[in-house]
Structure 1
Amino acid sequence: MEPALATRYVFTITAHIAGVTSAGQLGFGERRIIPITGGEVRGREINGKVLGFGADFQIVRPDSSIELEAKYAIETDDGAVIYVENRGIRCGPSELIQKLNRGEAVDPALIYFRTVPRFETGADKYRWLMQSLFVASAARHESRVVIDVHQVL
């Protein structure tokens, strides 16, 4: 019998973002940097805010799919600081990705956007975040990214 794999929803991160800065074409894609300017975290076990620093460092591949690597921090309502490093992939039909890149609305169900967040904290109450793996589904909106985080059981 194979071990079962399951997940449990834990919280949603809504990260507010600013405009895109491009470092240009690298030969294998375009390097883009998107500042993370704040936001909120809501869930059963964690509530707080996204701190107003950090960024999403992206590579836009020639096929329009995007490799993401976001680095930022959240502060819980009880004062703990949690570092977040979130890697992922966003892809979909080229015309829809181009609409997203222009800041236009696209139905999130039409875009594959999955990430693997990793957390670090010295706060005892939240050390369990460093003792599990997490996966997330995400949706890009005009000025924010909404990330639903699930713990792998």
Structure 2
Amino acid sequence: MTPALETKYVFTITACVGEVTSAGDTGIGERRIVPIVGGEVKGEVNGKFCAIGADFQIIRPNGLMEIEARYAFETDDGAVVYVDNRGVRFGPIELLQRLSRGEPVDPKLIYCHTVPKFETGHEKYRWLMQHIFIASPARHGDRVVIDVHQVL
């Protein structure tokens, strides 16, 4: 028997987002670009967002959202960490429509999970590249709060 899957909470990412830009229906769904305009990381790693990043989304006709967020943050001690965070969001269509309009929705009612991958040349944070992480994002108006857990 294989060991049970275990995780531990490591930090929370709060990404402040700007206005959505839509490229329209591309044949596989609506392509949306959501700029990430700021934010912070708090927990075992602490830092502030660099002035770059966006979430490149595809919203399928059934409401399933494919998430592909790419951004970077600088830790309090000066390391730059690049993040490629991919996953899916899905739920009842009326709740997804409310989220799209910026209205509040209880995050427990929406399935949303991502797998962030980290890159850095800073030795202190190499452990971020040597583990698998799973995250639970929740959209709150002008920000996304992402609890990141390390798979042990």
Give the TM-score taking structure 2 as reference length.
0.98
Percent identity, aligned pairs only, is 69
Q: Deviations over 1:21-74 (max 9, x none)?
A: 00110112000000000101000x211112221100000000111000000001
Q: 2:3 aligns to what SS in structure 1?
A: coil
Q: Which residue of 1 aligns with 2:12?
A: 12
Distance in 1 between the 2:23 and 2:119 partners?
29
Q: Which residue of 2 aligns with 1:98?
A: 97
Alignment map for 1:79-94 (pairs within 5 Å): 79-94=78-93
Q: Which residue of 1 aligns with 2:71?
A: 72
Q: 1:95 aligns to what SS in structure 2?
A: helix
Alignment map for 1:1-153 (pairs within 5 Å): 1-43=1-43, 45-153=44-152
Structure 1 residue ranges (4+ consecutive) displaced by more than 2 angstroms after TM superposition = none
Q: Deviations over 1:76-106 (max 9, x none)?
A: 0001000000001011000000000011111
Q: How many residues align?
A: 152
Distance in 1 between the 2:48 and 2:96 partners?
28
Distance in 2 between the 1:50 and 1:133 partners?
21
Letter of the 1:103 partner, please give it.
G
Q: Mark the runs of 5 or more structure 2 residues left unpaired by the alignment.
A: none
| RMSD of aligned Cα (Å) | 0.7
Letter of the 1:83 partner, please give it.
Y
Give the TM-score taking structure 1 as reference length.
0.97
Q: Mark the runs of 5 or more structure 1 residues left unpaired by the alignment.
A: none
Q: 2:105 aligns to what SS in structure 1?
A: coil
